[in-house]
């Protein structure tokens, strides 16, 4: 299947190596339709450009009506795609009143065909957790934090998700919305309390901001709402989870991320706080940085209440902590070997054998392969496919015990406009899958 079109600028070739395949797909945008060809290796395109005896490649158009496959010399195929008359992708949303289905339609950058995504509440409603009030209500809060990591831009995440229509889409899944807007907090200042001797960056500002978030998520959870926190970098999980644990002490956490984020101030190679929230939540360090004193008023996260899914970039100190604490951790190796379905069943059985505990889903967009989610700051190749990414959320919703979620690390400033748009779109769609959106 073709990848989302908005990831690719119209004037550049895209060589996509598939994690589950030895083939490479060479994509080019064309005014005649969605032209594409499969090559046995990247060297095939190289030979086509550099030899007079160019091999012949097949492509077919996806514009209706579907034409029979055409064959052209690869050199001609590759060279003639440079002048592209197609406009940039556009998006339109509408509601089919008869079926009450919200539809997102985009023109494919690979041609004139459209990529369509639909919003469906399931025919058999997913069971609402008993700890949520009726009618079910989503408490939405933005946390525009960027000081937990070195790149500006993650603070735009909440605004972009709202502009993409996340509020109306959630309503379309038969949730009430209580939008608490964005948490307001102070930026780092030169006269912030000193962290001398600690390899921590912006600790006071990040700590105090998370205190405000913890108070808000506690309020949402205590009132029986589904707490949806839109980041922001992943340091915000410190506040969101602390508040939720205070209201729901038996809560379990599924941490979906390429990274473990369990570094302590002693083990962190960078000092960036978005790589440390789990360590502070679990109380793994005796160091209490300025701005973090409030954590003593909140319950600690226990190792048997946490499971990682999707790890593929783990620091040495983190690996040691995960092993020593016997934390359930499923890397991309397990996903490749057993499949995402088996991984999620094992994960849920480990943290809630009787399916009796409230569950929180903390979803870092960098868990998804960067070909699909390029607008994020710590990309690592070999991430989730589109369906794997969605399946995690769908399965979590299916438990009937999902009571809260973070969606974090969307950073539109780190890629092209199309890449940013695709990443924001994916963030919205993942939230919707977690809140009940279904194919059937």
Which token pair is 337? 């070997």
Contact between 257 and 366 under an 8 Å Cβ cutoff? The reply is yes
Whole-angstrom Cα distance, residue 363 to residue 379?
Answer: 14
Local structure of 393: helix, strand or coil: helix
**Short-list 34, 29, 38, 81, CA closest to 56:** 38
* 182 has catalytic annotation: no
Q: Tokens 């790149």 map to which residue?
A: 151
* 390 has catalytic annotation: no
Reply yes or no: is the peptide bond before residue 135 cis, omega within 30 of 0: yes
Whole-angstrom Cα distance, residue 143 to residue 274?
Answer: 13
**Short-list 371, 379, 436, CA closest to 409:** 379
Phi, psi dihedrals of residue 171, rounded to the nearest 5°: -60, -35
Q: Tokens 């997102």 map to which residue?
A: 104
* 418 has catalytic annotation: no
Q: Of the residues 233, 315, 334, 364, which is catalytic?
A: 364
* 364 has catalytic annotation: yes
Question: CA quadruple 287, 153, 418, 173: dihedral positive or negative?
Answer: positive
Whole-angstrom Cα distance, residue 385 to residue 189?
Answer: 41
Q: Of the residues 274, 318, 390, 418, which is catalytic?
A: 274
* 127 has catalytic annotation: no
Q: Of the residues 334, 394, 409, 425, which is catalytic?
A: 409
Q: Of the residues 155, 233, 261, 313, which is catalytic?
A: 261
Contact between 31 and 41 under an 8 Å Cβ cutoff? The reply is no
Whole-angstrom Cα distance, residue 366 to residue 184?
Answer: 25
Whole-angstrom Cα distance, residue 364 to residue 234?
Answer: 7
* 90 has catalytic annotation: no
- Sorted by sequence, the CB contacts under 8 Å of residue 50 that are 6+ apart come out as none
Catalytic positions, please? Answer: 234, 257, 259, 261, 274, 364, 366, 409
């Amino acid at each position: 299947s073709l990848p989302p079109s908005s990831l690719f600028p119209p004037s550049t070739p895209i060589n996509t190596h598939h994690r589950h395949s030895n083939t490479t797909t060479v994509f080019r945008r064309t005014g005649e339709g969605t032209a594409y060809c499969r090559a046995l290796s990247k060297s095939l395109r190289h030979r086509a450009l550099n030899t007079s005896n160019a091999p012949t490649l097949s492509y077919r158009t996806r514009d209706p009506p579907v034409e029979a496959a055409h064959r052209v010399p690869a050199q001609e195929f590759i060279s003639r795609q440079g002048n592209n008359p197609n406009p940039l992708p556009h998006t339109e949303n509408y509601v089919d009143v008869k079926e009450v289905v919200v539809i997102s339609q985009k023109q494919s950058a690979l041609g004139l065909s459209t990529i369509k995504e639909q919003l469906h509440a399931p025919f058999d409603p997913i069971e609402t957790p008993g700890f949520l009030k009726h009618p079910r209500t989503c408490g939405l809060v933005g946390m525009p934090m960027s000081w937990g990591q070195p790149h500006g831009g993650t603070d735009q995440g909440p605004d972009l998700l709202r502009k993409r229509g996340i509020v109306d889409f959630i309503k379309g899944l038969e949730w009430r919305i209580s939008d608490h807007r964005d948490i307001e907090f102070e930026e780092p200042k030169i006269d912030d309390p000193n962290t001398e001797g600690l390899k921590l960056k912006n600790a006071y500002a990040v700590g105090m901001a998370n205190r405000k978030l913890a108070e808000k998520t506690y309020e949402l959870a205590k009132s029986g709402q589904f707490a949806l926190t839109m980041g922001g970098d992943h340091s915000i999980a410190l506040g969101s989870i602390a508040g939720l644990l205070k209201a729901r002490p038996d809560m379990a956490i599924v941490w979906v991320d390429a990274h473990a984020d369990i570094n302590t101030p002693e083990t962190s190679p960078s000092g960036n706080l978005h790589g440390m929230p789990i360590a502070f939540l679990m109380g793994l360090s005796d160091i209490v940085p300025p701005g973090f004193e409030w954590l003593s008023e909140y319950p600690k996260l226990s190792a048997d209440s946490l499971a990682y899914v999707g790890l593929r970039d783990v620091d040495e100190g983190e690996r040691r902590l995960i092993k020593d604490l016997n934390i359930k951790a499923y890397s991309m190796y397990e996903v490749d070997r057993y499949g995402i379905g088996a991984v999620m069943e094992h994960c849920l059985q480990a943290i809630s054998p009787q399916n009796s505990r409230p569950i929180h889903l903390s979803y870092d967009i960098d868990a998804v392969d960067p070909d699909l989610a390029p607008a994020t700051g710590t990309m690592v190749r070999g991430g989730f496919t589109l369906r794997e990414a969605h399946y995690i959320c769908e399965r979590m919703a299916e438990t009937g015990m999902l009571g809260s979620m973070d969606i974090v690390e969307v950073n539109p400033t780190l890629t092209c406009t199309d890449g940013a748009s695709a990443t924001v779109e994916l963030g919205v769609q993942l939230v919707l899958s977690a809140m009940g959106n279904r194919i059937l």
